[in-house]
């Protein structure tokens, strides 16, 4: 019993160390959070910008970005306002920064896909911007992830295994990493996370519409980290999808190199590995907690793991 208790404690500590450091590193002691400048538009805090990025944006794009509050925030140039004028000005600015090779995340990761900067309290869009530039401004990004799982043969509907995808080596982010069965960002023109999840499921994994009728929204995970691309205060809509044993996913759009069916008992160790996409690991952890695969009785760090999946984001 003592050996089993130690194993469970060590498992929880590995999950906290791995996913906590990769998904919520801005909450750790010594993080650069205190040095980040809020992106403030019309009095609303829409993003968080690293100081070196802010210096480049104000110096190279003075018709779009200015310092505000005596240099303690980043804001828009005087006279620039309104959804379309701001979006157009940002499109021109970031296209030029891409052409000039200023930020690697633009030159290497340009998507030709627009993300909306929205007020979290109303979902009102303030502007839209190229997806690869979102982290430079530290705006919230939304996505949707699908946990595709199989159940026990005894009729109990107890989850026993989960389908995972290995990302194609040609993906601009996290190439070759293990991932949820289905996942994708919510573009600016998408008003329904559920419809987007269904579309991604058909395109990425070849899941037929009839099986997707049982797709269930089950909540969100949120996290807050930084890397060389900027700041990521992100939210993922989570969906559960029970799949029959007769179904095997197929890559339709070429974004997945392979699919694997993994026993749930192996998942806690797998998501703590460096080759598992961090935010997808968080989605898997949320599944394990919600479905009782990890419980307060079997995992002594249950409360800390639950908190890690639902970080409060410091944006309006």
For residue 130, being part of any structural domain is answered with: yes
SS (H, E, C) 218-281: EEEEEEEEEECCEEEEEEEEEEEEECCCCCCCCCCCCCEEEEEEEEHHHHHHHHCCCCECHHHH
Asked if residue 278 and residue 147 are part of one domain, the reply reads yes
For residue 313, being part of any structural domain is answered with: no
**What's 47's DSSP letter?**
E
HSE, side-chain direction, 13 A CA sphere, residue 282: 32
245 pairs with which residues across the strands?
none
Choose the final residue of a domain: 78, 104, 137: 137
Asked if residue 76 and residue 24 are part of one domain, the reply reads no
Choose the final residue of a domain: 81, 105, 137: 137
For residue 315, being part of any structural domain is answered with: no
Asked if residue 147 and residue 133 are part of one domain, the reply reads no
Choose the final residue of a domain: 85, 102, 137: 137
Segment 197-212 mean pLDDT? 96
Asked if residue 198 and residue 151 are part of one domain, the reply reads yes
Asked if residue 74 and residue 175 are part of one domain, the reply reads no
Rounded (10°) angle between helices 51-60 and 83-99 = 100
On the question of pLDDT at 1 being above 70, the answer is no
Q: Going by C-beta distance under 8 Å and a sequence separation of 6 or more, which residues neighbour residue 153?
A: 245
Segment 208-219 mean pLDDT? 97
For residue 232, being part of any structural domain is answered with: yes
For residue 60, being part of any structural domain is answered with: yes
User: Over the stretch 282-308, which tens digit does the pLDDT of each residue have?
Assistant: 999 999 999 999 999 999 999 999 999
Segment 194-214 mean pLDDT? 96
Asked if residue 285 and residue 265 are part of one domain, the reply reads yes
User: Over the stretch 95-153, which tens digit does the pLDDT of each residue have?
Assistant: 999 999 999 999 999 999 999 999 988 889 999 999 999 999 999 999 999 999 999 99
Q: Which of 81, 1, 19, 18 is nearest to 44 (CA)?
A: 81
How high is the pLDDT of residue 3? Answer: 82
Q: Which contiguous run of DSSP H or E holds residue 284?
A: helix 278-290
Range of the domain at 83: 36-137
How high is the pLDDT of residue 233? Answer: 97
Q: Looking at residue 196, which CATH number applies to its domain?
A: 3.90.79.10
The per-residue pLDDT of the chain, averaged, comes to 96
């Amino acid at each position: 019993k003592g050996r089993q208790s130690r194993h469970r404690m060590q498992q929880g500590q590995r999950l906290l160390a791995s996913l906590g450091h990769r998904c919520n590193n801005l909450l750790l002691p010594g993080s650069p959070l205190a040095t980040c400048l809020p992106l403030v538009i019309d009095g609303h805090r829409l993003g968080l910008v690293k100081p070196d990025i802010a210096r480049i944006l104000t110096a190279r794009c003075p018709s779009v970005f200015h310092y505000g509050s005596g240099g303690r925030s980043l804001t828009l140039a005087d006279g620039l306002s309104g959804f379309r004028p701001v979006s157009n000005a940002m499109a021109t600015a970031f296209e030029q920064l891409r052409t000039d090779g200023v930020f690697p995340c633009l030159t290497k990761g340009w998507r030709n896909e627009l993300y909306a900067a929205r007020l979290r309290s109303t979902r009102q869009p303030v502007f839209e911007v190229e997806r690869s530039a979102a982290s430079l401004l530290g705006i919230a990004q939304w996505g949707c992830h699908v946990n595709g799982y199989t159940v026990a043969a005894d009729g109990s509907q107890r989850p026993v295994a989960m389908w995972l995808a290995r990302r194609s080596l040609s993906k601009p982010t996290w190439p070759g990493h293990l991932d949820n069965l289905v996942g994708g960002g919510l573009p600016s023109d998408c008003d329904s996370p559920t419809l987007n999840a269904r579309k991604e499921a058909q395109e990425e994994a070849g899941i037929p519409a009839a099986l997707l009728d049982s797709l269930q929204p089950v909540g969100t995970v949120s996290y807050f980290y930084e890397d060389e691309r900027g700041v990521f205060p992100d939210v993922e809509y989570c969906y559960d999808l029970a799949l029959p044993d007769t179904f095997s996913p197929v890559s339709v759009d070429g974004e997945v190199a392979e699919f694997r069916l993994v026993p749930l008992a192996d998942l806690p160790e797998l998501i703590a590995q460096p080759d598992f996409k961090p935010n997808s690991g968080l989605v898997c952890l949320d599944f394990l907690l919600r479905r009782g695969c990890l419980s307060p009785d079997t995992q002594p760090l249950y409360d800390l793991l639950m908190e890690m999946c639902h970080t409060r984001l410091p944006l309006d």
